[in-house]
Amino acid sequence: MKILVPTDFTSFAGFGVNVAITLAKALQAEIILLNLLEPPQGTTFAVTGDVTKMHSSEEDRYVAELYRVNKAKLHAIAEAHSTDGVKITPVIKMENLQEGMENFMKETPVDLVVMGTSGESTFTEYFVGNHTERVIRISHVPVLTVKNDHPNLNIKNIVLASDLDEASDRGVKQINKLAVALGAKIHLLHVSTSKNDSEKETLDKLTHFAKTHGLKDYAVRAAYNDSTTDGIKEFAQSSQADLIAVMTHARSGLANIVIGSVSESMVKKAQLPVLTVNLED
CATH of the domain at 8: 3.40.50.620
Residues 125 and 177 in one domain: no
> Which of these, 276, 261, 20, 264, lies nearest to 142 by C-alpha position?
276
pLDDT at 123: 36
Does 45 map to a domain? yes
Residues 105 and 219 in one domain: no
Residues 136 and 6 in one domain: yes
Domain count, the chain: 2
Asked if residue 172 lies in contact with residue 208, where contact means CB atoms within 8 angstroms, the answer is no
| Among 114, 146, 178, residue at a domain's last position | 146
| Among 77, 111, 146, residue at a domain's last position | 146
Residues 116 and 232 in one domain: no
Does 255 map to a domain? no
- Indicate the length of the chain as a whole number: 281
Residues 189 and 135 in one domain: no
pLDDT at 231: 94
Of 38 and 9, more confident: 9
**pLDDT at residue 267 above 80?**
yes
Residues 102 and 14 in one domain: yes
pLDDT interval class at 251 (50, 70, 90): low
Does 256 map to a domain? no
Does 280 map to a domain? no
Residues 18 and 62 in one domain: yes
Residues 27 and 162 in one domain: no
Domain that holds residue 187: 157-241
Does 195 map to a domain? yes
Give the span between the Cα atoms of 60 and 55, in whole angstroms. 9
pLDDT in tens, 96-135: 888 899 899 999 999 999 998 876 554 333 333 467 778 8
Does 270 map to a domain? no
Residues 30 and 129 in one domain: yes
Does 267 map to a domain? no
pLDDT at 40: 66
| Among 241, 256, 276, residue at a domain's last position | 241
Residues 99 and 218 in one domain: no
> Which of these, 156, 172, 170, lies nearest to 206 by C-alpha position?
172
**pLDDT at residue 46 above 80?**
no
Residues 169 and 118 in one domain: no
Residues 15 and 141 in one domain: yes
Largest Cα separation within the chain, whole Å, is 72
Of 245 and 255, more confident: 245
